[in-house]
Amino acid sequence: MKRREFITLLGGATAWPLAARAQQPGKVLRIGYLGPATGRSPVEEAFEEDLQQHGWTKDQNIRIEYRYTGGRQDTVLPLVTEVVGLGVDVLVTWGPPLSLAAKRASTQIPLVFLITFDPVDLGLVSNLARPGGNVTGLTSLASLEIFAKRLQFLKEFLPSVARVAVLASTEQTRSSRANDALTTAAKGLGIELHDLEIQAPAELEGVIRNAKDQGTQALYVWPSGFTFSFAKQISDIANAHGLPSCHSFREGALAGGLLAYAADLKEEARRGAAYVDKILRGTPPGILPVEQLSKYELLINLRTSKALGLTVPPNLLATADEVIE
């Protein structure tokens, strides 16, 4: 008789290893998907499309439990607790707050994180090549120079800029190493940085208006679930006050921001789906190396540039991967 191996899930329940469970006729595996946005976006479509290419069809052999925080820190723990309590077979989390909460919530359920920061710096894993335990994932941060590069593009666009507000959400602690990289770059470019912390969308108008009144000449939008979710509101308010904005997500420029230098989150979602496929077929997450996406694209919103009365430098225009007209 074959020896049966079990794993223990949160709460002491037992279940077949995923590979065996996936092979059971009619078995539907469950994916817990936690995102910082306000709802479904093309990123989720890319995730599902790639899963289907690997043989996983939603509502046939997999069920995806979607939950969204809308950039609100107070919803992170309740949503993670809820989804873990469903006994899902794998967790997929976007961003540091959800990923860290999921890691703390279960040491048994496989976790695939999708972030834009250094996972070692955040404490998600101790080793990129062999993360160990139940955690692996992807980061779109190929180098800390990315944070400096965004500021350099902004300076190239606005040579006279001397005071830039860094718009960040209180939903997460800013990575110290990333913050240091930005601060060092600012000193080298002769730029004074001013921090703006936002707790809720309703604060955006007042905070950005006050920053403008205090001499801020441009906004550097720090990557977070909040700034992803409310990219359009941030861009609209900044534009209304004559402030060029530099974004950390493509969606920021597409929503009306002046420029963005970012990885494609849809590609990160596709690569995450490939990891989910491997895990559902029995590969332990801890032996899957953390993947680092290295392709970044510069997007320039020409409509916004014209509305702000700015001229795009020819060399910057030639460098852009996408120009929004």
Digit-coded pLDDT (tens) for 152-166: 999 999 999 999 999
Residue 19 pLDDT > 70, yes or no? no
Q: What does pLDDT average to over the chain?
A: 89
Instruction: Please say if the pLDDT value at position 62 is more than 80.
Output: yes
Place of tokens 């593009």: 153
pLDDT at site 122: 87
State whether 188 and 304 are in the same domain.
yes
**Residues 239, 111 within the same domain:** no
Within a domain: residue 206? yes
Q: What is the pLDDT of residue 278?
A: 97
173 belongs to a structural domain: yes
For residue 70, pLDDT over 70 is answered with yes
One domain, residues 233 and 254: yes
Question: Looking at the 3D structure of the chain, how many domains does it have?
Answer: 2
Mean pLDDT of the region 82-95? 96
Same domain, yes or no: 50 and 100: yes
Domain CATH number, residue 213:
3.40.50.2300
Are 55 and 29 in contact by the 8 Å Cβ rule? The answer is no
Which residues, in sequence order, are bridge partners of residue 90? 31
Res 144: pLDDT: 80
pLDDT reported for residue 22? 54
Q: How far apart are CA 146 and CA 169, in angstroms?
A: 19
> Are residues 174 and 307 located together in one domain of the fold?
yes
Predicted pLDDT at 169: 86
318 and 223 in a common domain: yes
Do 26 and 57 fall within a single domain?
Answer: yes
Domain-embedded: residue 2: no
Task: Assess whether 205 and 168 both reside in one domain.
Answer: yes
Is residue 251, in this structure, part of any structural domain at all? Answer: yes
Does a structural domain hold residue 1?
A: no
262 phi and psi angles, rounded to 5 deg: -160, 160
Lowest mean pLDDT among 30-34, 241-245, 293-297: 293-297
Q: Give the structural domain span for 181.
A: 145-262+297-324
Q: Between these two residues, 284 and 122, which has the higher pLDDT value?
A: 284
Asked if 239 and 123 sit in the same domain, the reply is no
At 52, is the pLDDT very low, low, confident or very high (cuts 50, 70, 90)? Answer: very high
Rg (CA), the chain: 21
User: Residues 21, 58: one domain?
Assistant: yes
Is the domain of 206 the same as that of 283? no
* 116 and 51 housed in the same domain: yes
Q: What is the mean pLDDT of residues 186-207?
A: 94
Confidence of residue 3 (pLDDT cuts 50, 70, 90): very low
Task: Please list, residue by residue across 83-121, b when 16 or more beta carbons sit within 10 angstroms of its beta carbon and e when fewer do.
Answer: bbeeebbbbbbbbbbbbbbbbebbeebbbbbbbbbbbee
Give the chain's largest Cα–Cα span.
77
